[in-house]
Amino acid sequence: MGSPYKVTEFKKGFWIIEEDFVRMFLAEGSEDALLIDTGLGGGDIRGLAESLTAKPISVVNTHGDGDHVGGNGQFEAIHMHPSEYDYYLFERPERGNENLVPVWEGHIFDLGTRCFEVVLIPGHTPGSIALFDRANRVLFAGDTLQSTPIFMFGRGRSLIALEQTLNKLLNISGEIDTIYPSHGNLEESPEIITGMLEGLKLIKSGSVEGRDIEEPRPCKLYDCGGAKFLLK
């Protein structure tokens, strides 16, 4: 079997790793490297990351959905916000929590020449986080900011929290040029935040109807133009 990963060195010291429909990111600084998410777990993501950079690699999960944490067992330490632990372990207790290391709002992954700051962005999941590289004006937001439909039903997900998160992100949007989502378009502009807020408003006011869909799971798709949400 070949490797399930497609690797692109998008910029020097910044790799995009695609596994099927999900994306991971590896960034290297002068001292350390940071791997954002571990994908579906279909291959040796650790071996791949270590073949790309010789720097010590820290690993962080944007959130605990299965397509972002599949390779977690390959690493001794996985940084995750503690608000996500229950969600992460509930569906698959066999994952274990031995390698979880808490990261909190404001924590900085200092790679030497690059820094990533943790921003807590609950909604899609209770302990979703974004990684904000303020100096380079880029934000890695997991599944919270994307043009493809965002899962918003089931345990731990909250539209109320998502709305507050979007307003929080709107406040820093002037410091962001590019958003890197885990699905869909590789890059989004910060305008997506406003688009998603408008979408939520349409849903709240009942001015958009959900359409029954079967795939990826039976639910209702709310297509609000710039933003799409999956709800029950």
Smallest separation (angstroms) from Zn ion to the CB of 92: 15
| Among residues 37, 67, 84, 188, the one that binds Zn ion under rule CB under 5 A | 67
Q: How many residues bind Zn ion (CB under 5 A)?
A: 3
Give the residue with the Cβ less far from Zn ion, 145 or 169: 145
Smallest separation (angstroms) from Zn ion to the CB of 183: 6
C-beta of residue 22 within 8 angstroms of C-beta of residue 67 = yes
C-beta of residue 173 within 8 angstroms of C-beta of residue 181 = no
| CA pseudo-torsion sign 166, 83, 181, 183 | negative
Give the residue with the Cβ less far from Zn ion, 134 or 228: 228
Give the residue with the Cβ less far from Zn ion, 21 or 104: 21
Residues 92-111 that bind Zn ion (CB under 5 A): none
Give the residue with the Cβ less far from Zn ion, 32 or 67: 67
Question: Is residue 143 at the binding interface for Zn ion, with CB under 5 A as the rule?
Answer: yes
What whole-number distance in Å separates Cα of residue 217 and Cα of residue 200?
21
Task: Give the residues lining the site for Zn ion (CB under 5 A).
Answer: 65, 67, 143
